[in-house]
Amino acid sequence: MPSNKPEFFETLLLKGGTVVDPSSNRNEKADIIVDGDTIRQVGTIDASSFSGKVIDCTGKTIIPGLMDMHVHLREPGEEHKETVESGLRAAMNGGFTAVCSMPNTKPAIDSLSQIELLRKLSGGMLTDLHPIAAVTKGREGKELTEMGELAAAGAVGFSDDGSPVLNSGLMRNAMEYAAMVGRCVIDHCEDPDLAGGGHMNESLQSTYAGLKAIPSISEAVQVARDVLISEYTGCPVHIAHVSTEESVRIIRNAKARKIAVTAETCPHYLVLTDEAVRTYDTNYKMNPPLRSAKDQAALIAGLKDGTIDVIASDHAPHHADDKDLEFSAAAFGIVGLETSLGIVLTELMGNHQFSLVQIIELMSANPRRITRVPAISIQQDQTASLTILDLGMKWTVDSAAFMSRSVNTPFNGRELSGGAWGVVNNHQVFVK
Amino acid sequence: MKITLTHLLGLEGVSKQDITTILDTADTFKNVLKRPIPKVPTMKGKTIVNLFFEPSTRTRFSFELAEKRLSADTVNFSASSSSVLKGETLKDTIKNIEAMRIDFVVMRHGAPGSAKYLSECVNASVINAGDGAHEHPTQGLLDMMTIREKVGRIEGLNVTIIGDIKHSRVARSNIHGLISMGAHVGVCGPATLLPRDIRELGVTVYPSLEDALADSDVINVLRIQLERQKGGQFPSLREYRTLFGITGERLQHAKKGITVLHPGPMNRGVEIDSDVADGNASVILDQVTNGLAVRMAVLYLLAGGRSKMEGDSNAQ
């Protein structure tokens, strides 16, 4: 049983790996010396004169540390599902050196004291936590949070995720105010009247299943609204968990018109469709729901042509008590931190000919750019935030080995090709 | 003939052979029911629990009576008198009941897929007596039994289901069963009450009721729920009757010899008029009688029986 704890170091030599980093135009064999949290040297290094910790990275690929900009850590309020500590360990195990946590905890992250709590809980962990704060107090969709102070305290974005910002006037104000303090509003796009309390995508599959269904347009009409507000105000907006072909089309058109919209999608939408829901297995229940094969193809095309900027997991831990139920009674959401990278490498690199550089943009550079988290570059004197990949590794998802407190994954037993082998961040290293 | 099923969760995917075996067995049981003492000892010693999480009169009575006619021991459980009101989960309710060693569970529940979920939680055989808008297989079977009895066959017939298809488990079970048996299935109802991509199930969508009636050998008229009107899915019961109500006048222009089914309970004067419901084309009461025979057949066959009954000569 390998340790689930990272190791602290003073100096570290990563020997013999291949370094791939678009920001420094690097794609070559190179050794790296890390001194605390800073890269000291990149190049061919003679190990005999080095006295710190040495890790043999032969056959491994070292890339800028990955960041998942959409995770739910459940603390405070639902620590039986996940804590900041267990969630950040899951992130580390999944190859992430940073995550952004969504504010729909109980209570919501809508005040300075809540941000301070997250800072305390995440201190000393290998993986960095960049909190996203609520757009409105208590996520009630009524009054704006103190965005200026929250941003100064470390909030990297604002979202009422789990719920949309329904009031269009309020959304306009939120986008303008957030832009003023240098942040972006991240919207969970869903028209609740169109969604109609549904549990799965509306399609032939819901006609078979007899479950209340959520049409794709319940997402897309809100995406269109957000794009129009962004165009009118000139303020940025980020669309969370895009799942439909219509949304991709709207965002593509908006980008062609230079509107400041960015977007993310999630690994599960790339490999699963609503057909899976026919089993009534509640690990296929998430919001937005799994869509059709046509939507899936549009998402992959959107990732390929840059319409979609980011892949985020929407890691949503739930206890078995919330999942081992009839489908319509079960909670929405699946864990994703420990499967996200493996699925992306297997599916996008393996089956859709994405380059590793594209993956780095989708999972490291772009999420940092959107949230204004400083960029990572594998160069001398830069911050040492590194993900070490084993691209040749064949592995099988085993939820029993997750570091997350929850195991609500539809991917248990799935065979994947390529994944995280280690991470380096905050004076710490973790390798498998 | 035996059937290949261990549970009856729905008619989707059930073979023509299995459906035919069930219907043939039901025909035999119908004869049993005509005897002076309409009871057989076939399921003596078997324990059946009827779990009804939603209100039901005819389906629950029909199952209960079928179980008694087969000499099984039965226990009834309804949500209003149970620990469900105290917040117990379906799984816990079931595990508790199963701990009492039950052979069969007949369940009605509001959640689609709940019957399948139940079958994964217990060792007993599960019969779905309606799971939300998903399926109601014994209703589909009794409708097919009634059609076969009245018309003489199912294959090749035009059977049209009229009304709220979207929220109807009866419609889904009929569509799957009838298509397996080789019928041409049509649907007709308000556009707001047709489920997405329904044509892909292999059914014909009739925009006009007149066209549907002109084509159909059989119509199955569904109950319209008043709550759909409150939910904004159609404007009024008055207009529903005007556009989709089966009246005697309309039936005069229907295909000659048309047969009318309704799963009940009826809203007389809304989806169906009394002169139709009580008229010559109607087989609505036959459906009720056949329901009993079909449920006996399903229980008997799931218990491992054959379509030519061994226990028959021992009839009490």
Assess whether B142 and B283 both reside in one domain: yes
Domain assignment present for residue B177? The answer is: yes
What pLDDT shows up at residue B313? 41
A406–chain B nearest CA distance, Å: 20
Domain around B252: 137-287
- Choice among A191, A309, A314, A390 that is catalytic: A314
Assess whether B254 and B301 both reside in one domain: no
Separation between Cα atoms, residue A152 and residue A149, nearest integer Å: 5
Assess whether B116 and B183 both reside in one domain: no
The verdict on whether omega for the bond into residue A76 sits within 30 degrees of 0, i.e. cis, is: yes
Does A328 contact chain B (CB < 8 Å)?
yes
Separation between Cα atoms, residue B294 and residue B276, nearest integer Å: 25
* CB within 8 Å: A329 and B117: no
* A vs B: CB pairs below 8 A: 64
Separation between Cα atoms, residue A228 and residue B75, nearest integer Å: 60
Q: What angle do CA B186, B192, B196 make, to 5 degrees?
A: 65
pLDDT at B80 over 80: no
What pLDDT shows up at residue A1? 42
What pLDDT shows up at residue B181? 98
What pLDDT shows up at residue B86? 62
pLDDT at B312 over 50: no
* % of chain B exceeding 70 in pLDDT: 94
- Taking contacts as CB-CB distances below 8 angstroms, the residues of chain A near B117 are 280, 325-327
Whether A274 sits among the annotated catalytic residues: the reply is: no
The 10s digit of each residue's pLDDT in A349-396 is: 999 999 999 999 999 999 999 999 999 999 999 999 999 999 999 999
Domain total of chain B:
2
- Taking contacts as CB-CB distances below 8 angstroms, the residues of chain B near A206 are 195-196
pLDDT at A2 over 70: no
What pLDDT shows up at residue B78? 81
Separation between Cα atoms, residue B277 and residue B248, nearest integer Å: 9
- Taking contacts as CB-CB distances below 8 angstroms, the residues of chain B near A213 are 196
Domain assignment present for residue B311? The answer is: no
Choose the weakest-confidence range: A411-415, B165-169, B303-307. B303-307
Does A329 contact chain B (CB < 8 Å)?
yes
Assess whether B94 and B27 both reside in one domain: yes
Query: Which residue, A313, A303, A307, A312, is CA-closest to A358?
Result: A303
B181–chain A nearest CA distance, Å: 18
Separation between Cα atoms, residue A110 and residue A7, nearest integer Å: 34
Q: Which of A204, A280, A326 sits opposite B200 (nearest CB)?
A: A204
Assess whether B49 and B108 both reside in one domain: yes
Q: Which two tokens stand for residue A172?
A: 């306009």
Domain assignment present for residue B261? The answer is: yes
Does A213 contact chain B (CB < 8 Å)?
yes
* CB within 8 Å: A328 and B117: no
pLDDT at B315 over 60: no
Assess whether B110 and B204 both reside in one domain: no
Domain assignment present for residue B120? The answer is: yes
Separation between Cα atoms, residue B248 and residue B239, nearest integer Å: 17
Assess whether B56 and B147 both reside in one domain: no
Separation between Cα atoms, residue A232 and residue B264, nearest integer Å: 55
Does A202 contact chain B (CB < 8 Å)?
yes
Assess whether B41 and B150 both reside in one domain: no
The verdict on whether omega for the bond into residue B190 sits within 30 degrees of 0, i.e. cis, is: no
What pLDDT shows up at residue A4? 78
pLDDT at B83 over 70: no
* CB within 8 Å: B172 and A329: no
Separation between Cα atoms, residue A183 and residue A236, nearest integer Å: 8
Domain assignment present for residue B150? The answer is: yes
The 10s digit of each residue's pLDDT in A269-327 is: 999 999 999 999 999 999 999 999 999 999 999 999 999 999 999 999 999 999 999 99
Rg (CA), chain B: 19
Q: Write the CATH number for B116.
A: 3.40.50.1370
Q: Are B256 and B213 in contact (CB under 8 A)?
A: no
Q: Which of A208, A279, A291 to mutate to test the interface with B (most CBs of B within 10 A)?
A: A208
Q: Which of A206, A213, A324 sits opposite B91 (nearest CB)?
A: A324
- Domains, chain A, ranges and CATH? 7-62+380-431 (2.30.40.10), 65-371 (3.20.20.140)
Q: Which two tokens stand for residue A136?
A: 């409105």
B200–chain A nearest CA distance, Å: 7
Instruction: Tell the burial category of B315 from Cβ atoms under 10 Å away from its Cβ (0-12, 13-18, 19+).
Output: middle
The residue written with tokens 């409105």 in the block is A136
Chain A's closest residue to B202, CA to CA, is A204
SS (H, E, C) chain B: CCCCCCCECCCCCCCHHHHHHHHHHHHHHHHHCCCCCCCCCCCCCCEEEEEECCCCCHHHHHHHHHHHHCCCEEEEEEHHHCHHHHCCCHHHHHHHHHCCCCCEEEEEECCCCHHHHHHHHCCCEEEEEEECCCCCHHHHHHHHHHHHHHHCCCCCCEEEEECCCCCCHHHHHHHHHHHHCCCEEEEECCHHHCCCCHHHHCCEECCCHHHHHHHCCEEEECCCCHHHHHCCCCCCHHHHHHHHCECHHHHCCCCCCCEEECCCCCCECCCECHHHHCCCCECHHHHHHHHHHHHHHHHHHHCCCCCCCHHHHHCC
Q: Which of A203, A213, A329 sits opposite B111 (nearest CB)?
A: A329
- Give A53-75 as a DSSP string: EEEE-TT-EEEEPEEEEEE---T
Domain assignment present for residue B43? The answer is: yes
Separation between Cα atoms, residue A97 and residue A81, nearest integer Å: 21
* CB within 8 Å: B131 and A210: yes
Does A211 contact chain B (CB < 8 Å)?
yes
* CB within 8 Å: B117 and A327: yes
The ipTM, to two decimals, is 0.92
What pLDDT shows up at residue B311? 44
Does B117 contact chain A (CB < 8 Å)?
yes
